[in-house]
Structure 1
């Protein structure tokens, strides 16, 4: 989670992308909790790879330590000082790269039942996609084992896209191969990639298989983050999760579920939903809001919002519809 999330600006100018709440919970918290749930095995340690301490500061570290503690695990914090690729980022956590491990990129959400193939050296989770040429995909042999990783293939290889979640029976093997990649300056696109370590493992005859996810939800930019919020709310409603805080106050207000309504939210002369998340201590008056993400401590008045994303501590009074407003903005 070391990147700056430039595609999700302005929302990531003040908050790291993995800490942007979706359906009421930060992306990385939801991802780690979901992986822990579907693994069904005790987790000893969660290593978080962060970027610049000026951006990923003490508050971020404390939040991640609490996340790990809630899952009964030790939190280890590492820094990637330069944006030199996925392989370089993983090697920033070199002291933790031992034993069985899951590696995940913290800007994606999933719904899945993990079924680990204990005979495989690694599992790479994939999702069937309509446009494989836009993704990195896996190539399989007749045994359904992965024999190649192909980035944005011009000719059809498969329609199984790599989603950025990997399991290694012993991650120290990947560590040693990535060490070779770094020492020998093997770069693709000017960066050290996890794929180059994986390909070296494949060349040595190690067994890689696919894992399937039911849902793969991206949080790369504003449009897909709003869509992910919508899909996640639907899943949580189906799971029977309580999404509306008891401390929320309503006056002549209508909530069309599914919605997440945080603590001490005030809704007055307003219709909210469906598919709206509202962060704690936000006030919405004389408005209609649907299919939108509004974070905490904001004041929204006289709005007609659809497909909107609004940050923290925003003051907004107006009749625009599809908007994207970062933290501490004022439009009155």
Structure 2
């Protein structure tokens, strides 16, 4: 089994946090978004993960090494491919064409999920979906009486289905997917000016490929600050009974911890109230503050703060009062 992860986007909706690191490396409950994604896919696959291929921009050597370590953590080889120009989802996946062999999962790195199923690797293809109240903003799938996908409909104005496509796909034959993606590029078949995966899916379906849905129990978006803070909250609830959420090297001095929280290595919490639903990164210091429902990244210092529903980046120095914050890396703010 191979996992293909396109993640070359610039993450503009997450600025200022994506000015210094790619969005998929922003931490959720102490681990980067993309690491959570890889680990959760591995849990539902019934086969070992052989390779994880990351399609990125030129993010630098450190990011590439971090990504390879994420693959190694699930026993897989990490491969790096580059997308030089944003030409659509089909083009992005095809950038990793050398890894499109055998059974593959394609997962776009701005979404996380909770699933209660094991992936049926005998299926031709599987589209992961979530039931939504209002399907109009999403791509949806329509099913027949045999629970097979008959149509892919993008942002339907009239009700077609409430099964929204979340951006994770399984293909039994990666080489077949590769050839269908290449066909789009060779014949300049575009939708809204870009080469789209959904066009390849439609062609495969018309040629006899049977796609089935895999309905997840929760779909978590990391597209903007508020959504990412909420995803952090939900993940902390998922893992609240795991060991090691508060690092043994963390120093807690005259403070109250309200679970679930994650506190990283060598963090210092002094005269503060932390939680619920807070992630504190490595080497961060929180002094005389109240922090709830927030992500504070690494090497930051918070003093006299009362913050909630906030994201605070790496190497931030903050001293102030109650706020709803979105501070990027290396900022200094005093009220």
TM-score bin, normalised by smaller chain: over 0.9
* 2:184 matches 1:184: no
Match for residue 18 of structure 2?
12
Q: Look up the match of 2:139.
A: 136
- Equivalent in the alignment of 1:221: 224
Aligned to 2:119, which of 99, 116, 119? 116
* Conserved? CA contact 1:115–1:211, under 8 Å: no
Matches within 5 A, 1:114-263: 114-238=117-241, 240-263=242-265
1:242-281 C-alpha deviation (Å, 9 max, x unpaired) = 3101111122111100000001111111101000000001
Structure 1's unaligned 5+ residue stretches are: none
Cα distance in 2 between the residues matched to 1:60 and 1:197: 31
SS in 2 for 1:284: strand
| Offset from partner CA, 1:65-97 (integer Å, 9 cap, x none) | 112122221111100000111100000001111
Query: 1:24 aligned to 24, 30, 41, which one?
Result: 30
Q: Give the equivalent residue in structure 2 for 1:275.
A: 277
Q: CA RMSD in A?
A: 1.1
Instruction: Provide the C-alpha distance between the structure 2 equivalents of 1:160 and 1:219, rounded to a whole number of angstroms.
Output: 20
Whether the 8 Å contact between 2:55 and 2:93 is mirrored in structure 1 is: yes
SS at the partner of 2:13?
Answer: helix
Does residue 327 (structure 1) correspond to residue 329 (structure 2)? The answer is yes
CA distance in 2, matches of 1:229, 1:89: 27
How does the TM-score come out when normalised to structure 1? Answer: 0.97
Per the alignment, residue 3 of structure 2 pairs with none
- Provide the residue aligned with 1:307 in structure 2: 309
Instruction: Give the gaps of 5 or more residues in structure 2.
Output: 1-6
2:64 equivalent in structure 1: 61
Task: Go from structure 1 to structure 2 and tell me whether the alpha carbon gap of 1:118 and 1:286 turns closer, same or farther (over 3 Å shift).
Answer: closer
The answer to whether the 8 A contact 2:68-2:78 is kept is yes
Q: CA deviation at 1:119?
A: 4.7
Say which is worse superposed, 222-231 or 183-192, in terms of deviation. 183-192
Q: Distance in 1 between matches of 2:175 and 2:46?
A: 22
CA contact (8 A) 1:39 1:114 kept: no
Give the count of matched residue pairs.
Answer: 328
Q: 1:118 to 1:278 in 2, by over 3 A?
A: closer
Structure 2 residue 287 is matched with structure 1 residue 285: yes
Contact 2:10 2:22 survives alignment (8 Å): yes
Counterpart-to-counterpart distance in 2, 1:118 and 1:299: 47
Deviates more, 1:67-76 or 1:120-129: 67-76
1:41 and 2:44 are equivalent in the alignment: no
- Offset at 1:320? 3.7
